[in-house]
């Protein structure tokens, strides 16, 4: 017995020693690049970022910040160094296949082992170091999140709602959606998701008739201190969400050209009450379809299929080749601008997210494409866009004290891209370097 214990102790001590050695080796000095720290501050040339273990130790400039001898020097000359990006609206289980029903009936048993890990890896290689997954099989995402946290799989830090609650007695189409046809079931399932460690509750598919069910979900989540986000593509969904007091609404619908006055009045009342209202517009999936239709070649990019078995890759490629792209009229852009403006004028806070995983939005490209749409199509300042997809997103998730800016003491989620995204935004498409929690992945 004693012998057994001492062997275990020895193993523990040895692994502790090797962990410490690993941490000690993890000392990097990123030297020379233009620094965008994610706070919205103006960029700083000739920067130095010191990474020690999991954290950023110091940030300064050449000639002013000394570099200790035992730090591995990495030149970032000619590059921009910025915080790892966030994507707070993703669906890791999809990989851009246009036919959801086919995807679920064919690959559900491979979500935890193949498709979610593949999306996670693609995100990390694209410089996205934190995501929020809204609608995914709860058990599968918990398993993958644990493996990423242990360092067994490469991937971003995952926040998630787990399975989305659908307040309708619809047949179950996939374990990533839980139908809740009455208040009792809604309360029980909300409590179960919270007990399983979900960071948010997601609701979709509401109708006017489901108001009491949505109220029950929101009240149960809020009693437990958990926020709720709900689909709001249609005016009916938005009314139900606002009446129930959800924290955040998803999507901008383009079926109607403006929001009706009664909705805008409800939004105004909500803001005036002092409770903030957040909105996650996800416009890239609407505004990029013309590009997809005109130039589907970019979907064939091998990085969109990283870690996917050849059969799944072939399936996705064929489905894309067979798909018809529903190109939106140019007025879609005007509708989105008009609706965004009417929400912003009333004080709604926009949250970032790309709806990754849906058709044409593989994890390797989705985040950058959404951001680029905001910069080029909707006129957002690139520096503001970077702040939105870094420190603002971290603040929204309640972890701004730990991550989201290049500030001493925060987790070293750092990327470097060639050139300057302030001048050429597309440089964010393929980062040259990616660090997550101080570990270099690219
Ligand atoms: Zn979504």
Residues 244-275: tens digit of each pLDDT: 999 999 999 999 999 999 999 999 999 999 99
The answer to whether 428 and 81 have CB atoms below 8 angstroms apart is no
Only one residue has tokens 């109607």, namely 256
The answer to whether 96 and 141 have CB atoms below 8 angstroms apart is no
CA–centroid distance, residue 6 to ligand 1 (Å): 51
Any domain includes 166: yes
* Residue 203 and residue 188 share a domain: yes
User: Would the pTM count as exceeding 0.75?
Assistant: yes
* Final residue of a structural domain among 364, 380, 396: 364
Any domain includes 385: no
Nearest Cα neighbor of 399 from 121, 133, 132 is 132
Three-state DSSP state, 422: coil
Instruction: Report whether pLDDT(3) > 50.
Output: no
Residues with CB in 5 Å of ion ligand 1: 355
CA–centroid distance, residue 94 to ligand 1 (Å): 11
CA–centroid distance, residue 201 to ligand 1 (Å): 13
* Residue 424 and residue 302 share a domain: no
* Residue 138 and residue 110 share a domain: yes
46-97 residue pLDDT tens: 999 999 999 999 999 999 999 999 999 999 999 999 999 999 999 999 998 9
* Residue 187 and residue 74 share a domain: no
Measure the CA–CA gap between 424 and 73, rounded to whole angstroms: 27
CA–centroid distance, residue 91 to ligand 1 (Å): 6
Strand pairing category for 128-134 and 248-250: unpaired
- Count of domains for the chain: 2
* Residue 175 and residue 41 share a domain: no
CA–centroid distance, residue 134 to ligand 1 (Å): 6
Any domain includes 227: yes
Q: Residue 348: its pLDDT value, please?
A: 98
CA–centroid distance, residue 434 to ligand 1 (Å): 26
* Residue 155 and residue 27 share a domain: no
CA–centroid distance, residue 156 to ligand 1 (Å): 18
Q: How confident is the model at residue 430 (pLDDT cuts 50, 70, 90)?
A: very high
* Residue 151 and residue 227 share a domain: yes
Any domain includes 380: no
182-231 residue pLDDT tens: 999 999 999 999 999 999 999 998 999 999 999 999 999 999 999 999 99
Domain region containing 360: 85-364
Beta-bridge partner residues of 248: 229, 278
The answer to whether 59 and 48 have CB atoms below 8 angstroms apart is yes
**Domain CATH number, residue 347:** 3.20.20.140
CA–centroid distance, residue 356 to ligand 1 (Å): 7
Nearest Cα neighbor of 396 from 252, 200, 136 is 200
CA–centroid distance, residue 353 to ligand 1 (Å): 9
* Residue 273 and residue 346 share a domain: yes
* Residue 215 and residue 131 share a domain: yes
The answer to whether 135 and 320 have CB atoms below 8 angstroms apart is no
Any domain includes 9: no
**Domain CATH number, residue 27:** 2.30.40.10
Residue 405 to residues 25, 59, 254, 390, 395, Cα–Cα distance (Å): 23, 11, 34, 7, 10
* Residue 90 and residue 78 share a domain: no
Any domain includes 371: no
Q: Residue 10: its pLDDT value, please?
A: 43
CA–centroid distance, residue 124 to ligand 1 (Å): 19
Beta-bridge partner residues of 164: 177
* Final residue of a structural domain among 344, 364, 384: 364
* Residue 89 and residue 47 share a domain: no
Structure tokens at 369: 């494409």
CA–centroid distance, residue 157 to ligand 1 (Å): 18
CA–centroid distance, residue 232 to ligand 1 (Å): 11
Any domain includes 386: no
């Amino acid at each position: 017995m004693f012998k057994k214990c001492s062997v275990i102790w020895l193993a523990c001590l040895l692994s502790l020693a090797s962990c410490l050695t690993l941490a000690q080796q993890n000392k990097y000095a990123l030297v020379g690049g233009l620094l965008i720290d994610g706070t919205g501050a103006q960029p700083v040339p000739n920067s130095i970022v010191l990474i020690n273990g999991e954290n950023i130790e110091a940030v300064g400039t050449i000639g002013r910040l000394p570099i200790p001898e035992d730090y591995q020097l990495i030149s970032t000359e000619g590059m921009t160094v910025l915080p790892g990006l966030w994507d707070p609206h993703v669906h890791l289980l999809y990989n851009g296949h246009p036919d959801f029903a086919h995807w679920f009936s064919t690959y559900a048993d491979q979500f935890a082992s193949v498709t979610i890990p593949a999306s996670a890896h693609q995100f990390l290689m694209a410089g996205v170091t934190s995501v929020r997954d809204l609608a995914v099989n709860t058990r599968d995402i918990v398993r993958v999140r644990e493996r990423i946290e242990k360092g067994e799989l490469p991937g971003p830090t995952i926040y998630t709602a787990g399975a989305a609650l659908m307040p309708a007695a619809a047949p179950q189409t996939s374990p990533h959606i839980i139908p809740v046809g009455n208040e009792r079931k809604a309360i029980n399932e909300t409590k179960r998701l919270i007990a399983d460690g979900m960071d948010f509750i997601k609701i979709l598919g509401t109708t006017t008739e489901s108001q009491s069910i949505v109220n029950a979900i929101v009240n149960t989540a809020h009693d437990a201190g958990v926020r709720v986000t709900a689909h709001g593509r249609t005016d009916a969904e938005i009314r139900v969400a606002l009446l129930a007091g959800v924290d955040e609404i998803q999507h901008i619908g383009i079926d109607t050209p403006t929001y009706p006055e009664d909705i805008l009045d409800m939004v105004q009342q909500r803001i005036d009450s002092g409770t903030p209202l957040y909105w996650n517009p996800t416009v890239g999936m609407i505004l990029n379809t013309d590009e997809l239709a005109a130039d589907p070649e970019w979907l064939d990019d091998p990085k969109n299929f990283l870690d996917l078995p050849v059969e799944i890759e072939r399936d996705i490629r064929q489905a894309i080749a067979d798909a018809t792209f529903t190109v939106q009229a140019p007025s879609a852009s005007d509708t989105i601008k008009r609706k965004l403006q009417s929400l912003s004028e009333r004080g709604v806070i926009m949250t970032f997210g790309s709806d990754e995983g849906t058709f044409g939005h593989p994890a390797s490209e989705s985040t950058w494409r959404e951001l680029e749409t905001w910069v080029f199509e909707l006129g957002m300042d690139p520096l503001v866009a970077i702040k939105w997809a870094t420190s603002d997103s971290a603040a929204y998730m309640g972890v701004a004290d730990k991550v989201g800016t290049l500030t001493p003491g925060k987790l070293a989620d750092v990327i470097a891209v060639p050139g300057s995204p302030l001048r050429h935004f597309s440089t964010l498409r393929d980062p040259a370097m990616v660090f997550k929690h101080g570990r270099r992945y690219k």
